[in-house]
Structure 1
Amino acid sequence: MDRRQQKTRDAIFEAFSSLLYSKRYTTITVQEIIDKANVGRSTFYSHFETKDELLKVMCTDLFEHVFSDNPGSENTHDFSLADGNPDSIITHLLYHLRDNNKNIIGLLTCESSDMFLRLFKQYLDELIVTHMLDNLDRKNTYIPDDFLINHISGSFVEMVHWWIKNKMQQSPEELTKYFLAVINPIF
């Protein structure tokens, strides 16, 4: 994708995020998105077939960046030298959720939050498998992996809901300590 296309896509994402933060998903129209993004209708449809596809692509882009195996240095944090341990990965993820607070709140509170949560949970499940289950010596081997993965990712999603509801008062590092203290007995 060239820079001009990326700039247009970013404008559409920003417009959609802004609308999600202030309006219900079902009431947002493509016309409002293109007006706010200052792009033409054909330009919007050359990037996205529907508003639902826009939501899915926006979530996927966010998660692919957040769950990247090679995190880079960013404005608020630098995990580029992290060794892939669960503490660093979880803290990095929480920084992104905090830094994208406006987008995350809009996505979690819209009527299509189930799409966001389903994608979020898929990425979390993969993260748990590759960075937690494969690297830790489990005490409770009688617990099926799929049950354990579902339990941990579900717990993380609920923790994020709690954190947002409480205005993100805890730092990502502090929240990581809480989360790991709760799940470490499983291992």
Structure 2
Amino acid sequence: MATTRASTTTSAGDRRVRRTQAALARALLDLVEEQDLSRVTVADVAEHAGVSRSTFYDHYRDVHELAEAACTAMIDRLIESLPGDFDSADPEVEATASLESFFASLAEHAGLYRALLGPQGSARVADHIRQRSTAAIRERLEEAVAGADVPEQARPLLSLPLDVPASFTAGALIGVAAEWLQGGCARSPGEMAALTWPLFHSLFRIEARPPS
């Protein structure tokens, strides 16, 4: 019975932690839609979430750490929408749709990402996004190379350690996204996808060979 009570107490405690962290994340998302992340204070977030500053510090060191934690799930969804099959039967259609989803997800929370990736944003969060993007793109490259007949023109690139083209691509994509966000998302997600796909295609021109 003691074990059961302890387990129940732990479970209840975990739920309270998750509820508090979710409230803090929602508060931050609301606030950065209205002002730069650099101007949001712990007191602002705590008041908006309906908790004390000491409760905030029970969970996070500062606003930037909260921003990183709050954005993790959204970042994961963004990365999942990146082009995943560089050598599919119709790569242009598939990859353009993936990129459009990527830019549409950014636009949905444009204020947040503008704050995080802009000149007054968080270098810590930007690096977090870059590292996750690099790892995801590297994984996709490994899958593509393993199942592809790599043409002559692509061999010099793909003979490099894949972390090099992966980090290059992630950095370039984040740079394009940041510039687009700072410009107020003047082009639609569809236009951005159409402009970005040729860059992916020229860099990763891998031709698949159907399995025998």
Q: Give the TM-score normalised by structure 2.
A: 0.66
Residue number in structure 2 paired with 1:180: 197
How many residues of Structure 1 are paired with residues of Structure 2 in the alignment?
170
- The percent identity for this pair of structures is 18
| Local SS of the residue matching 1:22 | coil
- Determine the C-alpha separation between the residues in 2 that align with 1:182 and 1:103: 26
Structure (1 or 2) with the larger CA radius of gyration: 2
Contact 1:86 1:132 in 2 (8 A): no
Q: Which runs of 5+ in 2 are unaligned?
A: 1-13, 82-93, 206-212
Equivalent residue runs for 1:12-91 within 5 Å:
12-20=24-32, 21-23=34-36, 25=38, 27-68=39-80, 86-91=95-100
Q: Which runs of 5+ in 1 are unaligned?
A: 70-84
Q: How big is the shift at 1:158?
A: 1.6
| Local SS of the residue matching 2:154 | coil
Q: How big is the shift at 1:121?
A: 1.2
Residue number in structure 2 paired with 1:106: 115
- Determine the C-alpha separation between the residues in 2 that align with 1:110 and 1:18: 20
| Local SS of the residue matching 1:124 | helix
Residue number in structure 2 paired with 1:79: none
Question: Structure 1 residues 9, 123: CA separation in 2 closer, same or farther (over 3 Å shift)?
Answer: same
Contact 2:96 2:193 in 1 (8 A): yes
Q: Work out whether 1:93 is the aligned partner of 2:105.
A: no
Q: Give the TM-score normalised by structure 1.
A: 0.74
Equivalent residue runs for 1:100-179 within 5 Å:
100-109=109-118, 111-132=120-141, 134-135=143-144, 137=150, 139-143=153-157, 144=160, 145-179=162-196
